[in-house]
Amino acid sequence: MDFLTELKARAALVDRALDELLPSEDTYPPVIHQAIRYSLFAGGKRLRPVLALAAAETVGGDPARVLPAACALELIHTYSLIHDDLPAMDNDDFRRGKPTCHRVYGEAVAILAGDALLTHAFALLAKNAQNQLAPAERVVHVIEEVAEAAGTLGLIGGQVVDTLAADTAVDAATLEYIHRHKTGALYRVAVRAGAILAGAGEDQLEALTVYAENLGLAFQIQDDILDVEGDPARLGKPVGSDERNKKATYPALFGLDVARAKAGEAVAAALAALEPFDERADFLRELVRFVITRDF
């Protein structure tokens, strides 16, 4: 099976689990459950849950046993996108080629749908202790790490700095802060959550954390590059929006060549971190190579 087929198979597994674990559209009050599913099933790559599954596999665990926690990470990602798109934030009308949540359901329901996804994420994390999927101690540890990664010292902190930096010149240190927190923190905790739940040792966890941090960096740089030279048809969104919005990006700060070199270095560092692992880490290896070769 080639890597993209394998990635899609794992994403489909996540999609099925999300569908099973979320209230149906006709659950009262229906509008909120419709809004949640509208945004959640709008065509994401499911990279964060797939990372959690692959990290569990890498340390010898059963990926199926960390599915609820993996899904929780996708809920947190989706909540952050819904709130990010709101008029008071980035004021985006479209995401992945579809009208954003607040354009379809109104601002009030979009705010609440984001709140609900964030809340439900922690319900799913807690569920990972049911049916003996994982010992309660590990589940509590993961919940604490996820809350920190999603909080003001992680995702939200990055979002705050990004929002305040809009329309101002941003230096390399601020750009790095934004990326490390706004997107990096969730990749990092996705890998750590899968590994912790599967019983990783300290050394394994440390190596996987280095992998995840470099993967997140490579991913972000490639995102910035695609916004400069990507194909809108492949990406499902217009390009050039970063420049129009005067967003700080790696190509804008360093030029395309240096940005590409930095992405390459991050991939090399991620692969080096995986050296202690056997072939069960092959999916993670292919994933980080994919991140800088993808055109979508």
Question: Residue numbers of the site for a second copy (CB under 8 A)?
Answer: 23, 27-29, 31-33, 36, 79, 83, 86, 88-89, 106-109, 111-112, 114-116, 118-120, 122-123, 125-127, 129, 135-137, 139-141, 143-144, 146-148, 150-153, 156-157, 159-161, 163-164
Residue number with CB closer to a second copy (98 or 127): 127
Residue type, 16: R
Residue number with CB closer to a second copy (154 or 251): 154
Residue number with CB closer to a second copy (182 or 285): 182
Interacting residues of 160 by C-beta distance below 8 A, sequence separation 6+: 152
Residues 46 and 13: their CA atoms lie apart, in Å, by 10
Residues 223 and 250: their CA atoms lie apart, in Å, by 10
Closest CA to 244 of 228, 222, 233: 228
The gap from C-alpha 60 to its chain's centroid, in whole angstroms, comes to: 23
Q: Residue 154 Cβ, how far from a second copy at the closest point, in Å? A: 9
Q: Residue 88 Cβ, how far from a second copy at the closest point, in Å? A: 3
Q: Residue 78 Cβ, how far from a second copy at the closest point, in Å? A: 13
**Residue 99 φ/ψ, nearest 5 degrees:** -55, 140
Residues 127 and 21: their CA atoms lie apart, in Å, by 10
Residues 49 and 51: their CA atoms lie apart, in Å, by 5
Task: Output 175-179 pairs: Cβ under 8 A, ≥24 positions apart.
Answer: 175/248, 175/249, 175/250, 175/253, 178/248, 179/216, 179/217, 179/220
Residue number with CB closer to a second copy (10 or 83): 83
Residue number with CB closer to a second copy (17 or 139): 139
Q: Residue 116 Cβ, how far from a second copy at the closest point, in Å? A: 5
**Residue 199 φ/ψ, nearest 5 degrees:** 85, 30
Closest CA to 83 of 105, 115, 40: 115
Residue number with CB closer to a second copy (50 or 72): 72
**Which pair of tokens denotes residue 107?**
């601002």
Q: Residue 202 Cβ, how far from a second copy at the closest point, in Å? A: 18
Residue number with CB closer to a second copy (11 or 161): 161
Q: Residue 161 Cβ, how far from a second copy at the closest point, in Å? A: 5
Q: Residue 183 Cβ, how far from a second copy at the closest point, in Å? A: 16
